[in-house]
Amino acid sequence: HFDVSKPWLNRVLERSEKLSLKAVDGVSFSIRRGETVALVGESGCGKSTVARLVVGLYGLTRGSLVFDGEDISDLANRTGRQAASLRKRFQMIFQDPYASLNPLWRVGTIIGEPLRFFRPEMSSADRRRRVGELLEQVGMSPMDALRYPHEFSGGQRQRISIARALSNEPEFMICDEPTSALDVSVQAQILNLMRDLQDEYGLTYLFISHDMAVVKHMSDRIAVMYLGRIAEIAPSDQLFANPHHPYSKMLLAAVPSLEGGGKERTTIQGEVPNPVHPPSGCAFHPRCPHANARCKAEVPLLIARDDGSEVACHGVEEGRIE
């Protein structure tokens, strides 16, 4: 069980190179073991910030992070053996596998590297055997261990990074746009692989994507983020059948059909404002057709509804919007 919550307003400050600040605020959710929760939203909404916060790459300035009953809010500052054994239980998969695979290393060295670090007692013969098994688990050949990342396609490189992530038998995988750089047909193969691995190992996923069509088939629940806050969180079927938040409705209206090859994408109206200086009140109000004076003044908080969703919208709360 994993819980990012209490108090309501977590503020995470992400320092970019130019020291501008990006905030994630009021993000509160939990993930059950074996579940897939997706965080969706346009770029700059803070999805990746939440992912990096969860794995301890960024520190929390407020709020808390609980993993399997243990408060790990200070994970970013922890060092030593105990912190390493905790980190081993999380793995992160990134959008661009090529950037995270050392081009000078053979695939076998790349996949075996976490084993060398976390299990130094393992003999090199055992490690080689384990790397071979991992390659087979991701649909590749043990012989591929001898080759280099550039010899593989984008989809195969993502399989290699998944194999590396699996090497230490993690429980929780944070996947940041894992298929966005891939062709649609390859995307489906990687998503299917991830689902099979989840069933086999009981993995828990936090799945980050800007693409509703991708998360639809991957997630048990979906959290829609807008400018650093959760606008709506709901079971996937519920969100697709009956989204409440005007932003969720807008995102869903823009979902291209996978069958149509993604060509019928309708564009979402309006620009995403600068996340460093979000609009007052409900940050979505400049783009929302239902905005009123209260929306401009008051930040809406997530409110649970009877259908299992939680929605942060004054219009929904007041019954002006279904």
Task: Provide the 3-class DSSP secondary structure of residue 195.
Answer: helix
Q: Based on the shown chain and the rule CB under 6 A, indicate whether residue 314 belongs to the binding site for ligand SF4.
A: yes
Size of the site for ligand SF4 (CB under 6 A): 13
Instruction: Give the C-alpha separation, 6 to 2, whole Å.
Output: 13
Dist CA 233 CA 29 (whole Å): 9
48 binds Mg ion (CB under 5 A): yes
Joined tokens for residue 214: 């991708």
Rama region for 169: left / alpha / beta (φ>0; ψ in -120 to 50; rest): left
Residue 313 makes contact with ligand SF4 by CB under 6 A? yes
Q: How far is the CB of 96 from Mg ion (least distance, A)?
A: 11
CB of 237: closest distance to ligand SF4 in angstroms? Answer: 22
Decide if residue 230 touches ligand SF4 (CB under 6 A).
no
Structure token digits, residue 7: 């108090």
Tell me, residue by residue from 277 to 306, as one string, x for binding to ligand SF4 by CB under 6 A and - for no binding: -----x-xx--x-xx---x----x------
Q: Which is nearer to ligand SF4, 126 or 318 (CB)?
A: 318
Nearer to Mg ion, 4 or 225 (CB): 225
Residue 290: contacted member of Mg ion, ligand SF4, none (CB under 5 to 8 Å, by partner type): ligand SF4
**From the list Mg ion, ligand SF4, none, partner contacted by residue 178 (C-beta under 5 to 8 A by kind):** none
What amino acid occupies position 240? F
- Distance CA(277)–CA(112), nearest Å, equals 44
Out of Mg ion, ligand SF4, none, which partner does residue 48 contact, by CB within 5 to 8 A per kind? Mg ion
Q: Give per-residue burial for 138-163: e unless 16+ CB within 10 Å, then b.
A: bbbeeebbebebeebebbbbbbbbbb
The CA distance from 88 to 90, in Å, is 5
Element (H, E) at 127: helix 124-137
Cα 226 from Cα 57, distance rounded (Å): 22
* Interaction residues for ligand SF4, span 29-88 (CB under 6 A): none
Taking the least distance from each CB to ligand SF4, the nearer of 13 and 252 is 252
**Site residues for ligand SF4, window 139-198 (CB under 6 A)?**
none
H helix runs in 173-287, sequence order: 184-201, 212-216, 236-241, 246-253
Residue 282: name its binding partner from Mg ion, ligand SF4, none (Cβ under 5 to 8 Å by kind).
Answer: ligand SF4
CB of residue 301 to ligand SF4, shortest distance in Å:
10
Residues contributing to the site for Mg ion (CB under 5 A): 48
Residues contributing to the site for ligand SF4 (CB under 6 A): 245-246, 282, 284-285, 288, 290-291, 295, 300, 313-315
